[in-house]
Structure 1
Amino acid sequence: MAFYNMDTPGHSVYSLDPKGSDWDNSRPTTAEGWKPFAGAPVRDSYQTLSALPESPGMTPQPSPGLPPDTPKGPPGGPPPDGGLTAWLQVLGGYFLFFNTWGLINAFGVFQTYYSTVLLTDKSNSTIAWIGTLTSFMLCASPITWGPVFDMGSPRLLVVFGSGAVVFGMMMTSLCDKYWQLMLAQGIVVGIGGGCLFITATSILPSYFSKKRALAMGIAASGSSLGGIVYPLIFSHLQPTVGYGWAVRVIAFIALVTLAIPCAVIKPRTKSPGRRKIFDTAILKEVPYEIFNLATFFGFVGQYIPYFFIEQYAGDHGMDMAFYMLTFLNVGSIPGRILPSLLADKYFHPLHVLATCTGCATILAFCWIAVKHSTGGLIVWCLLYGFCSGAFVSLQGAAVASMATDMRTIGTRFGINMFAGAIGILIGSPVGGAIFPHSWPAAQTFCGVTLGCSTISIVATYVVYQRGKTGGHSKLGG
């Protein structure tokens, strides 16, 4: 054990080297000539000097490192941006989206069946509450699951969520009353989906940086495939094997596909030490709060076509009414991937998100004019699916791009999705209450809310850029 003495103007600093040998008195004691005989190893080429009790009044010298406004990275160091494990997380995320938003995107086929066969005594607005409750629970429950993810337990969330989704769909196959569907399909499937969705959006930023938006876009495209496969399965099986077995087949498919993320999802590392269950400092970031407002407005209007496009086509005497929901989801597949690729290579995610949401706003108003042309509605569905698809895929990338501490990424996604949950809880029931009286009014409601979302995204980017030049904007200081 050795104590090394370094003379500095007006005080001395002592540091303990447990591995060093005895002090060599022949060593010079000036600041310029001081060198320890057996210096302790220095990590990362930096050494921090701190004041000890023997040297009161000393001002510690800070260790060189990252600038104070640089976001803290996720535990485990910089993301690898590739490799087998990283791309397996994308595969797992793909099937998580497939069985969460894929089921939401497919709800239009359930809406039509419930309104025409199973629940003929209920209005469209009342039936829509089943789908919106599923969506609300899927988006709201991550505010609870986010901190669980941040503490390093994504696989626990995936296993629990998978079990809840499969169990909820199995119970849905036995339902013939409204309250039963609200409980099984609305609450149980929704809560399970929330566990899966928060994992799908939060696991990828720890593995990807330069390719983050693309990775999240590829994973999010799983919801589009789910929105294509599940309605086709239901519509082809229900007339032959009945409603119950058609839904059970969907549950079995969910069971098989969810086994993949259960096997491959892997956190890079657990967060070191204890952390807060909920960090209230996140709520003081102004750009983040404005983006939460954008998410709210976006989810109010975005899913109105997904819930009611089949009934719109049927009410206007168009052919292929059932396949309109499929065309929406087909268009959303490239809509989740191509804008994400642009966000990685050329533009900020908020730029691309604002552009796509603005185009979806214009298309929502154009929907009013598509009244009697089957071909025109098919084209509209493909375009709207493309533009609206970017909202889900780029939402996570946008939140991650503004994060000041990536160790709280799960909590940030959870809060943001809670804002979306409130929006989706309002949007489709309101649309369902409006369109029996006026389809143009419902379409205008969709367009206005998407326009408010576009304005909020632009405002988010403006405030975020100003905060970067003058320090992060905070509420209350």
Structure 2
Amino acid sequence: MSSSSHDDIEKDAGSSKDSVPHLSENQEEIREAAEAPFTVERDSDEHEPNGEPLEKTASKYSAHNIRSVPNGGLTAWLQVLGSFFLFFNSWGIVNTFGTYQAYYETGILASSTPSAISWIGSIQAFLLMLVGAITGPIYDAGYVHTLLLLGSFLVVFGQMMLSLATNYWQVMLAQAICIGIGCGCMFVPAVAILSTYFSTRIATAMGLAAAGSSLGGVIYPIVFHRLQPTIGFPWATRVIGFIALFGLLFSNSVMKVRVLPDSRRKFLDLTAFTELPYVLFVLGSFTGFMGLYVLFFYIQSYALQTHITNDNLSFYLLSIINAASVFGRIIPNYIADFTGPMNMILPCSFLAGILTLCLIATHTIAPLIVICVLYGFFSGTFVSLPPTIFVALTKNRAVIGTRMGMGFSITSFGLLIGTPISGVILDAKGYPSTWTFGGVLVLAGAVFMLGSRVAQGGWKVMVKV
């Protein structure tokens, strides 16, 4: 080969490298987290009908081939919009339960204690996270649209059955079990599909989609509050069901699987529990989520029972929290690309815990609204940043999905028990003790996360972790 030909080849190779979109380290990790390699492997002893051995073949698209990732375009952005409505009708519904908590305490479940009522919302959130964590292998096996259809049906069906409920066990079955499982079925597709359509824009795409959970928590409480006094609980609940139906029909019609892994994830990777940073972060998430939703569940009833606000304004407090959380899921995620996700979640967690404790001394409307706005913003990182942190704490990319699922499964039990315990404290000691319980748990979770950060990156403040 001539030297000029050799130079031409090297020049072409160099230009090919330059054409690959540049990914930050954090964006690369997020993109690779959801998928295993997409090469289809054949056994060496398999043969074609003519007797020739089968060759290893690659799928048409590969998430590890960056140049094949669309990273934009109509189809890709339709996935973001479809995922937005999946979040809107899963986490958005969970974030709405505070409105139902306040209504149930004086409405159809007035004979039940606040602790008993809060079990409904905590089981709903628990099932969303737990079912979402264990459906990864089902997604990997190719049953993506089955998960979407089943989840959509259960959410809408549960909402309609809730409209017919008149006692506690019926509400538990419809709102906690049926809707909770439905939300969990949609959780993995909402995240995993996006990671195969975006490379350099993955953080933006994820942030926009996840904002649907907060916006759902803004709109649904307002819809319920405005309609329930005029058309009654049954029809107000059905209207929410119809809104969910239209949004989920759109998601099911546009969500399109681009690539699937060639192998299923393992359910367990017990070696994770030998790594101190991982163990401490999971413990921090578990503890933090125990206290995180105390304010979401009880802020409206607190404002009503202490006469800080009138009936009308109190029902907007939850919407204020969720509206602020829209920005709390996008802005910190963007900053985390430069500072590191652990460095971002730590100050936000400490501030969320402090703000909960500040409610003890809050007796007027102005500081209450300020606390709701700030808490909504800083608490948003608890939902948006942990997936990225699990990626950063896992050296072996083959088990990222497994370790993330394990972490969310453990965290889901914190969601399950936190608000019912706070309800018992509310019955026995009142709201100051309830806010103390929630705030201390969030702060304790932040301390465990700080330990994880130190174990992973040391004490130097400027280290990106």
Which of 432, 440, 446 is residue 448 of structure 1 equivalent to? 440
- In the other structure, the counterpart of 2:167 is 177
Give the number of the structure whose residues are more often helix, by fraction: 2
- In the other structure, the counterpart of 1:329 is 322
Residue 303 of structure 1 aligns to a residue whose secondary structure is: helix
Give the conservation status (yes or no) of the 8 Å contact 2:269–2:402. no
* CA drift at 1:377: 0.5
Pair 1:251-2:241 in alignment:
yes
Aligned amino acid, residue 128 of structure 1: S
* CA drift at 1:109: 1.1
Residue 339 of structure 2 aligns to a residue whose secondary structure is: coil
- In the other structure, the counterpart of 2:419 is 428
Q: Which stretch shifts more, 165-174 or 211-220? A: 211-220
Give the conservation status (yes or no) of the 8 Å contact 2:285–2:411. yes
Give the conservation status (yes or no) of the 8 Å contact 2:290–2:438. yes
- In the other structure, the counterpart of 2:386 is 395
Backbone CA RMSD of aligned residues = 2.3
Q: Which stretch shifts more, 276-285 or 334-343? A: 276-285
Which of 402, 405, 408 is residue 411 of structure 1 equivalent to? 402
Q: In 1, Cα distance between the equivalents of 2:343 and 2:144?
A: 30
Against the structure 1 CA distance between its residues 231 and 141, is the aligned structure 2 distance closer, same or farther, given a 3 Å change threshold?
same
Give the conservation status (yes or no) of the 8 Å contact 1:224–1:332. yes
Residue 435 of structure 1 aligns to a residue whose secondary structure is: helix
Against the structure 1 CA distance between its residues 193 and 276, is the aligned structure 2 distance closer, same or farther, given a 3 Å change threshold?
closer
- In the other structure, the counterpart of 1:301 is 291
TM-score, normalised to structure 1, is: 0.78
Against the structure 1 CA distance between its residues 454 and 364, is the aligned structure 2 distance closer, same or farther, given a 3 Å change threshold?
same
* CA drift at 1:206: 3.9
Q: In 2, Cα distance between the equivalents of 1:166 and 1:176?
A: 18
Residue 242 of structure 1 aligns to a residue whose secondary structure is: helix
Runs of at least 5 residues in structure 1 that lack an aligned partner in the other structure: 1-44, 46-69, 467-477
Q: Equivalent residues in 2 for 1:255-294 (5 A)?
A: 255-272=245-262, 274-275=263-264, 277-280=266-269, 283-284=272-273, 286=275, 287-294=277-284
Aligned length: 395
Residue 314 of structure 2 aligns to a residue whose secondary structure is: coil
Rg: which structure is higher?
1
Q: Which stretch shifts more, 254-263 or 300-309? A: 254-263
Which of 363, 369, 378 is residue 369 of structure 2 equivalent to? 378
Q: In 2, Cα distance between the equivalents of 1:395 and 1:404?
A: 16
* CA drift at 1:277: 4.3
Which of 76, 83, 102 is residue 72 of structure 2 equivalent to? 83
Give the conservation status (yes or no) of the 8 Å contact 1:296–1:453. yes
Residue 191 of structure 2 aligns to a residue whose secondary structure is: helix
Give the conservation status (yes or no) of the 8 Å contact 2:268–2:406. no
Aligned amino acid, residue 138 of structure 2: V
Against the structure 1 CA distance between its residues 212 and 259, is the aligned structure 2 distance closer, same or farther, given a 3 Å change threshold?
same
Which of 350, 354, 358 is residue 362 of structure 1 equivalent to? 354
Give the % identical residues: 42
Pair 1:99-2:89 in alignment:
yes
Q: In 1, Cα distance between the equivalents of 2:138 and 2:414?
A: 24
Runs of at least 5 residues in structure 2 that lack an aligned partner in the other structure: 1-12, 14-27, 39-61, 459-465
- In the other structure, the counterpart of 1:215 is 205
TM-score, normalised to structure 2, is: 0.79
Aligned amino acid, residue 420 of structure 1: T
Give the conservation status (yes or no) of the 8 Å contact 2:214–2:322. yes
Against the structure 1 CA distance between its residues 179 and 251, is the aligned structure 2 distance closer, same or farther, given a 3 Å change threshold?
same
Residue-by-residue CA offset, 1:142-192 (whole Å, 9 max, x unaligned)? 232122123343332112111111111111111111001111111010011
Q: Equivalent residues in 2 for 1:70-149 (5 A)?
A: 73=32, 74=35, 75=38, 76=62, 77-78=64-65, 80=69, 82-84=71-73, 85-149=75-139
